[in-house]
Amino acid sequence: MSITPDARVRSPITEILMTIPLYASDLSFEGYIPTRIALRMEQDGLVQLVRQRGGVRKGKIRRAVMCRRSGDPKPTKLRDHMGQAYSYRHELDDGHRPWALRPLGHRFRHDQSFEYNLAPQSTRPIFMRVVLDCLVEPA
């Protein structure tokens, strides 16, 4: 009984060599996919294949990166976990750039200085609670 080449069992090393890494649109690693599936996904417009530019293996597929679709969320940025900064450099008429606080809600009346009206009336109890929680009892 002879074994045909299609009936051979592939080793795990051969499987890894026949696959390429797949990355999401935000460049996070997703796993490995076979080369034939990556080529089919490229034809369907789902991935962009990154090929080697020069050398002996010129044109070899190195990785597949998923294309961003319309329903996908925006990629996360390093600053996203920190939130919006409440202080910024304020440009004065005389050329100085002091630090200023950003008003909450991004609304202020132009007849009042926003330096004195930084938080809407509805958010002031929240800030007072935070300030009171940060106070340390005298020893």
Name the domain count of the chain.
2
* Residue for token pair 């935070």: 130
Give the whole-angstrom CA distance, residue 1 versus residue 24: 46
Length of the chain: 139
104 in a domain, yes or no? Answer: yes
92 in a domain, yes or no? Answer: yes
Structural domain harbouring 130: 82-134
139 in a domain, yes or no? Answer: no
Query: Taking the model in full, what pTM does it have?
Result: 0.46
Whether residues 101 and 60 share a domain: the answer is: no
Whether residues 53 and 95 share a domain: the answer is: no
Whether residues 100 and 60 share a domain: the answer is: no
Whether residues 51 and 89 share a domain: the answer is: no
The tens-digit pLDDT sequence of the chain (139 residues) is: 444 455 455 555 555 567 899 998 888 899 999 999 999 999 999 999 999 888 777 888 999 999 988 887 777 776 676 666 777 787 888 888 888 776 665 555 554 455 556 667 777 788 788 888 888 777 6
87 in a domain, yes or no? Answer: yes
1 in a domain, yes or no? Answer: no
Whether residues 56 and 88 share a domain: the answer is: no
Tokens of 84: 């919006």
17 in a domain, yes or no? Answer: yes
The pair phi, psi for residue 136, each rounded to 5°, is -105, 135
Whether residues 122 and 96 share a domain: the answer is: yes
Exposure string (b/e) for 106-129, b if CB count within 10 Å is 16 or more? eebeeeeeeeeebeeeeeeeeeee
5 in a domain, yes or no? Answer: no
